[in-house]
């Protein structure tokens, strides 16, 4: 392996190859996953500065038979971007590749290096007078390469789609160290299999994304945010239908938050004033972005809420009066995962169910978990507009969260995932499979789909060197 390290240093420069043998080495930032569930041990962390160096690194690793773990911002939630504990895997960090290569205003596209931090891309688009709509709570540190590799969703999917929908082209280094240049900004290209869509969502198991061409949008003239209390989940679903009718394409976000989830924000972040949560089982956060004017957006919201009150699907509501108030409302939503972490260890699920079936899914699964594990607390929130719930399970109050996780996690997962399957949903809506759910996938994925996935992996990475053990086991 010292020969491999020697080659890697030749390719990227000694300063960009980090190993445990370096004096004072601390590789925790690359070896520990974001949720601190797993700490691996890398043979080395390699930080190439351009696509040619990535290709050369891959070729060197292939020659040495060393597995490669691609890594962006390391904010993934399914233990997919950190090495295993064998000490043989090379972490290939893309974060030095952070250039915006080009912005084409007439084509409404920007072409960027994979290691660009998402927030920097939002800023670059804004500076050029455009909107880049991908938005998630990790945007200050996640990278566009990681967003594409996980097909990230976030809070604007109702209107703009997920990372896949925003991507027009990719540059990818293959498992053999070849460079595929697919960075066309074409919206139409029917010349055979769609390789772009194969790599998007492949979690680093099929190729290394080194650059991407992403869609830009005009900045909306106004964005308005409302917060509504609803009597139950069925009413939230009815409100979603009304919002589609009244706001049309302006409906940008539709988030639901359960009462217990909001109570945790009120408890752990008392400086945030959480509206309307005390008397309603669910609250909804809606965003309307309008191409005309703020007055028009407000008028649309007023008509929507009027209808919703008439039909008794909303019991109370506030519309943000300023951008600052709108940010404060979104901040409450984004604080739920942090408040939950403050409350203690918990079991997370990121599931999707057809929107129409979500109320029945929650009613049945809430009751099932409460029956099987008396006292469990359900932190239920998510992107209802996309049929995506973060259906999380917290240990009973005054219980020992660590013991709860140790003794109950497997059983809770089975109960929740079996319910998801009964309701024809997916066990991963946006976070991916990684290694956290790799043993679950065969139980819940269509067997023919799974066999096709294995054939694709075998064809593209026959040596199984790209992120082995993630998404698929052999």
Residues that bind ligand FAD (CB under 6 A): 34, 69-77, 80-81, 94, 114, 136-138, 142-143, 145-147, 149-150, 152-154, 203-204, 208-209, 337, 430-431, 434, 467, 470
Cβ at position 300, least distance to ligand FAD in Å: 26
CB of 149 to ligand FAD, least distance (A): 3
Q: Does residue 274 sit in helix, strand or coil?
A: coil
| Minimum distance of ligand FAD from residue 210's CB (angstroms) | 7
- Report the residue number, 7 or 388, with the smaller CB distance to ligand FAD: 388
CB of 375 to ligand FAD, least distance (A): 27
**Residue number, 299 or 342, with CB nearest to ligand FAD:** 342
Name the H helices within 311-357: 323-343
User: To the nearest whole angstrom, how small is the minimum distance from the Cβ of residue 278 to ligand FAD?
Assistant: 26
The smaller minimum CB distance to ligand FAD, of residues 94 and 345, is found at 94
Interatomic CA distance for residues 89 and 78, integer angstroms:
18
State the number of CA atoms in the 13 A half-sphere of 430 facing the CB: 22
- Judged by CB, which is closer to ligand FAD: 142, or 332? 142
Nearer to ligand FAD, 73 or 425 (CB): 73
Q: How far is the CB of 313 from ligand FAD (least distance, A)?
A: 26
- Report the distance separating Cα 213 and Cα 303, nearest Å: 39
| Cα angle for residues 412, 415, 419 (degrees, 5° grid) | 140
Closest distance to ligand FAD from the beta carbon of 190 (Å): 25
**Shortest Cβ distance from residue 166 to ligand FAD (Å)?**
12
Closer residue to ligand FAD in complex, CB, 7/162 = 162
Which SS3 state, helix, strand or coil, does residue 224 take? strand
Nearest CB to ligand FAD, comparing residues 246 and 390: 390
| Count of other CB atoms within 10 angstroms of residue 127 | 10
Residue nearer to ligand FAD on the CB measure, 74 or 238 = 74
Q: Which is nearer to ligand FAD, 194 or 306 (CB)?
A: 194
Least Å distance, CB 141 to ligand FAD, is 7
DSSP at 174: E
Q: Which two tokens stand for residue 416?
A: 């929740």
Whether the Cβ atoms of residue 199 and residue 328 lie closer than 8 Å to each other: no
Least spacing, CB of residue 164 vs ligand FAD, in Å: 11
Nearest in space to 77 (alpha carbons), one of 439, 443, 387, 430: 430
Decide if 288 contacts 306 (C-beta within 8 A): no
| Rounded Cα gap, residues 369 and 30, in angstroms | 36
Q: Where would I find the beta strands (DSSP E) of 73-154?
A: 89-93, 100-104, 109-113, 130-131
Backbone angles phi, psi at 422, to 5 degrees: -60, -35
- Token pair recorded at residue 11: 């390719």
Q: Which residue lies nearer to ligand FAD by CB, 290 or 386? A: 386
Residue of 347, 351, 418 whose CA lies nearest to 378:
347
Task: Tell me the C-alpha distance between 170 and 138, whole Å.
Answer: 22
Question: What are the E-state strand segments in 329-462?
Answer: 346-347, 350-352, 377-383, 388-394
Burial 9-41 (b: 16+ CB within 10 A, else e): bebbeeebbbbeeeeeeebeebbebbbeebebe
């Amino acid at each position: 392996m010292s020969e491999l390290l020697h080659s890697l240093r030749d390719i990227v420069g000694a300063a960009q190859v980090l190993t445990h043998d370096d004096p004072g080495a601390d590789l925790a930032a690359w070896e520990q996953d974001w949720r601190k569930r797993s700490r691996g041990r890398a043979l080395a962390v390699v930080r190439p500065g351009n696509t040619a160096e990535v290709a050369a690194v891959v070729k060197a690793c292939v020659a040495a038979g060393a597995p490669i773990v691609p890594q962006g911002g390391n904010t993934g939630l399914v233990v997919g971007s950190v090495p295993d504990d064998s000490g043989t895997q090379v972490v290939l960090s893309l974060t030095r590749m952070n250039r915006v290569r080009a912005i084409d205003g007439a084509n409404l596209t920007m072409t960027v290096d994979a290691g660009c931090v998402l927030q920097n891309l939002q800023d670059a688009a804004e500076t050029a007078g455009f909107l880049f709509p991908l938005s998630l709570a990790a945007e200050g540190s996640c990278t566009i390469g990681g967003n594409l590799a996980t097909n990230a969703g976030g809070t604007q999917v109702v209107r703009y789609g997920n990372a896949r929908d925003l991507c027009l082209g990719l540059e990818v280094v293959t498992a053999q160290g070849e460079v595929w240049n697919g960075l066309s900004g074409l919206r139409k290209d029917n010349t055979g299999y769609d390789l772009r869509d194969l790599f998007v969502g492949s979690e680093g198991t099929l190729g290394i994304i080194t650059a991407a061409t992403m869609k830009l949008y005009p900045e909306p003239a106004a964005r308005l945010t409302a917060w509504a209390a609803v009597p139950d989940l069925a009413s939230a679903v009815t409100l979603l239908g009304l919002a589609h009718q009244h706001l049309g394409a302006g409906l940008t976000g539709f988030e639901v938050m359960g009462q217990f989830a909001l109570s945790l924000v009120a408890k752990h972040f008392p400086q945030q004033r959480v509206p309307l949560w005390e008397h309603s089982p669910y609250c909804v956060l809606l965003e309307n972005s309008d191409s005309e004017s703020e007055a028009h957006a407000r008028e649309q919201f007023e008509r929507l809420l009027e209808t919703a009150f008439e039909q008794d699907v909303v019991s109370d509501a506030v519309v943000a009066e300023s951008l600052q108030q709108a940010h404060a409302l979104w901040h409450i939503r984004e604080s739920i995962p942090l408040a939950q972490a403050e409350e203690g260890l918990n079991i997370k699920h990121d599931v999707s169910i057809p929107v129409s079936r979500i109320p029945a899914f929650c009613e049945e699964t809430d009751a099932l978990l409460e029956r099987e594990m008396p006292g469990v607390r359900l932190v239920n929130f998510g992107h209802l507009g996309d049929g995506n719930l973060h259906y999380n399970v917290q240990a009973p109050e005054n219980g020992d969260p660590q013991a709860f996780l140790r003794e109950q996690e497997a059983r809770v997962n089975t109960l929740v995932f079996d319910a998801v399957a009964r309701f024809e949903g997916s066990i991963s809506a946006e976070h991916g499979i990684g290694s956290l759910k790799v043993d679950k996938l065969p139980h819940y994925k269509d067997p023919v789909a799974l066999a096709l996935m294995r054939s694709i992996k075998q064809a593209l990475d026959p040596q199984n060197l790209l992120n082995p053990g993630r998404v698929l086991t052999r």
